[in-house]
Structure 1
Amino acid sequence: MSQPSAVGDDAPATMRAVVVTRPGGLDALEIKDVPVPVRKPGWVRIKVKAFGVNESEVTTRKGESDAVVTYPRVPGIEGVGVVDEVDEVDEDSELRPGQRVATMMGGMGRSYDGAYAQYVTVPAAQVIPFETSLPWEVVGALPEMFQTAYGSLTTGLDLKAGQTLLIRGGTSTVGLSAATIAKDLGATVLSTTRSPERAGDLRAAGVDHPLLDSGTIADQVSELMPEGVDAVLELVGCSVLADTLCTVRRHGTVCFTGALAGEWTIPDFTPFMIPNGVRLTSYGGRATDLPADVFARQLQAIAAGSLEVPVAKVYHGLEQVRDAQADVESGTTPGKYVVVLDD
């Protein structure tokens, strides 16, 4: 039977955390001194070094998330840091005190407290160990963004080298990441933006064909790919899904992953809205869909300069979380917003 590691006994009794005590505006994000979380058996306590700030956490703060049913809540669906305390396990385990790790999803920041804090506890199954010399501000941008993009392209679409991929919602963090990963897989990438000035952001991510999305794009895609694309990553949502389905070749696949436009359902949906032979699936993120060896290869590619990380802005300290969420809501700069916790 495993026993708790002795490391972690030096952890303080309290920590600083950003707490949402009630749904509301930016002033609902309060910095408080709270108890350091007690680790359950089979869980890992992580000393947080950095975390990404995401739309879902804005939703949590506003009280619009169905997954958050109780307050107060520490938000944060992802984080990176070092293992502070873990069950003792066999010699082959990489989850040891001091090990650098990433974690994301799995109810984090929703059904239990998340990474907007100095410490967080999460199930061991959703912890990814890694080694890199990249700074925390870079690694902190990656977990949820890469996991969602990679999982959508592999689990959701089974994308192969030589295929064509359309990303709808291409200047989002997941869209930009998906473009870089798809190019690394050997795909030809089309990607959309609503702003002409952001076409350069798409090209910088490796996109072969940036498209201006005015609400319908099927005709543009048809001009480039008369038979339709092999696969589509849908990030805009149900408001454009019918049009998106018309961009795909017969036996091609659309994977519904996000709803940037805010519409998750289609009133009076009928399966006959799906064109003959086109496949519609969905993807909801799971940490286990980003294997440690895949994450390691991505870190190596970033260090080598062959994979770009779309970081929009870096903030230092929990005091700047309100600024980060305000910038996420404004949507003026494409890329990931990252908070680094300085020692």
Structure 2
Amino acid sequence: MSATMRAAVCVRAGGPEVLELRELPVPAVRDGWSLVRVAGAGLNRSELRTRQGHSPTVRFPRVLGIECVGVVVASTDPAVPEGTTVAAVMGEMGRAYDGGYAEYALLPNATLMPVASTLPWDLLAALPETYLTAQGALDALGIERGGRLLIRGGTSSVGMAAAAIAAGYGVETAVTTRQAGKVDALTADHVVLDDGGSLREIWPDGPEYVLDLIGARTAVDSLRLVRRGGTVCVAGSLSGWLIQDFEPIAMIPSGTRLTAFHSETMKGRTDVLQRIVSEVESGVYRPNVDRVFDLEDIVAAHRYMEDDQATGKLVVTLRHE
């Protein structure tokens, strides 16, 4: 193993161009942490917002990346020996310490999830954050067979994963997009442009559940759309993190529930991730990977993400010499 590695470093807050490919020392292993040779990393909008400067706790320069998959090459945990295929997600990865945009990542043992997989690296890299978030959000909603589920932000990777998982629950699902050109890429019982009126035509009295992945801009509207007594779960930040002038008593209909899901709660859930991997291998879930980039193309990847061109997941793969 070389003493140095390639890494995409966010040198300051700004546009995609602040991501610079640099040669860095391979991190030294220390107690409680293990070294992973990164094979792939999913891209996430939270990384985009961090790069833009909207994460005040993050100090630059920083190697971003809140998730990755790869192989342990130096372990301090007997439960995850060298040679183990692992996924890692969250746990302040790419924020408090360097993350997955690098050939190697030194990660806390608590974040490592060993998985048995025959999937190619780019497909495996598309799963951890996206599918764990989708599963956790559906759990937070408490969906039950026979219900109706609206997913706002349906062309996002989490939206598409949630629709795939929800199909197995036997719920009637509607997914939305704000872009007419992306309608044909969506699979659900109902696919609509997110203009409010069309949603009322499908379900005049509203769905029992709304998974809102757009977030701040649409959360209050989702509370109006959901059936009285239903549940809205905000689990995305496509439109930002803060709801301006939010008045809970005035804006949450009586009896309706507003909850949220953060993927940090799924950190270390190896059992859930392994089940997801198995479902993908068997063809039950069909992840939508929109595009795979090389690490050298990280600027183009972030520009593609920022321009909202993707329908599904974006992945960066690492080529080791």
TM-score under structure 1 length normalisation: 0.87
Give, in whole Å, the separation in 2 of the partners of 1:250 and 1:23: 42
Q: Distance in 2 between matches of 1:49 and 1:140?
A: 8
Find the counterpart in structure 1 of residue 174 from structure 2: 190
- Counterpart of 1:6? none
Q: Matched residue of 2:227: which SS? A: strand
Task: State the match for 2:67 in structure 1.
Answer: 78
Please identify, of 224-233 and 73-82, the stretch whose mean Cα deviation from structure 2 is larger. 224-233
Listed as ranges, the matches of 1:52-201 within 5 Å are 52-68=42-58, 70-89=59-78, 93=79, 95-154=80-139, 156-201=140-185
Work out whether 1:330 is the aligned partner of 2:320.
no
What SS does the aligned partner of 1:249 have? coil
1:246 to 214, 224, 232: 224
Q: What letter corresponds to residue 54 of structure 1 in structure 2?
A: N
CA shift for structure 1 position 319: 0.9
Please give the per-residue CA displacement for 1:56-94, whole angstroms capped at 9, x wherever unaligned. 2222222222341x11101111100011222243xxx3x
Going from structure 1 to structure 2, the CA distance change for 1:185 and 1:294 (only over 3 Å counts) comes to: farther
Query: What secondary structure, in the 3-state scheme, does the structure 2 residue paired with 1:121 have?
Result: strand
What's 2:4 paired with? 14
Letter in 2 for 1:248: V
SS of equivalent residue, structure 1 residue 314? strand
Matching residue's letter, 1:273? M
Q: Secondary structure at the match of 1:180?
A: helix
User: 1:56–1:88: structure 2 CA closer, same or farther, 3 Å change rule?
Assistant: closer
Distance 1:233 1:141 in 2: 20
Instruction: Give the whole-Å Cα distance in 2 for the aligned partners of 1:181 and 1:268.
Output: 31
CA RMSD for the aligned pairs? 1.8
Q: What's the counterpart of residue 33 of structure 1?
A: 23
**Cα offset, 1:228, TM superposition:** 2.5
- How far is the alpha carbon of 1:130 from its aligned partner? 0.8
Which deviations, in whole Å up to 9, do the C-alpha atoms of 1:150-190 show, x marking residues without a partner?
A: 11111x21222322211111111111111111112322211
* Contact map agreement 1:147 1:290 (CA 8 A) in 2: no
Q: Of 187, 193, 205, which aligns to 1:212? A: 193
Which letter maps to 1:30? Answer: E
Partners of 2:289 and 2:313 within 8 A in 1: yes
User: How far apart, CA to CA, are the structure 1 residues paired with 2:97 and 2:151?
Assistant: 32
Match of 1:23 in 2: 13
Q: Which of 272, 288, 308 in structure 2 is aligned with 1:310?
A: 288
SS at match of 2:228: strand
Unaligned runs of 5+ in 1: 1-10
Matches within 5 A, 1:215-234: 217=196, 219-234=197-212
SS of residue paired to 1:76: coil
Partner of 1:5: none
**1:7 corresponds to:** none
* SS of the residue 1:286 aligns to: helix
1:72-130 residue CA offsets vs partner (Å, 9 max, x unmatched): 101111100011222243xxx3x111111111112111111111111112222222111
CA contact (8 A) 1:25 1:61 kept: yes
Q: Secondary structure at the match of 1:326?
A: helix
TM-score by length of 2: 0.93
Residue identity over aligned pairs, in percent, reads 41
Q: Quick one: which amino acid aligns to residue 234 of structure 1?
A: D
Give the superposition deviation at 1:279. Answer: 0.3
Q: Which runs of 5+ in 2 are unaligned?
A: none
Bigger mean CA offset, 70-79 vs 234-243: 234-243
Q: Is the 8 A contact 1:125 1:288 kept in 2?
A: no
How many residue pairs match? The answer is: 320
The 1:152–1:88 alpha-carbon spacing in structure 2 relative to 1, beyond 3 Å, is: closer
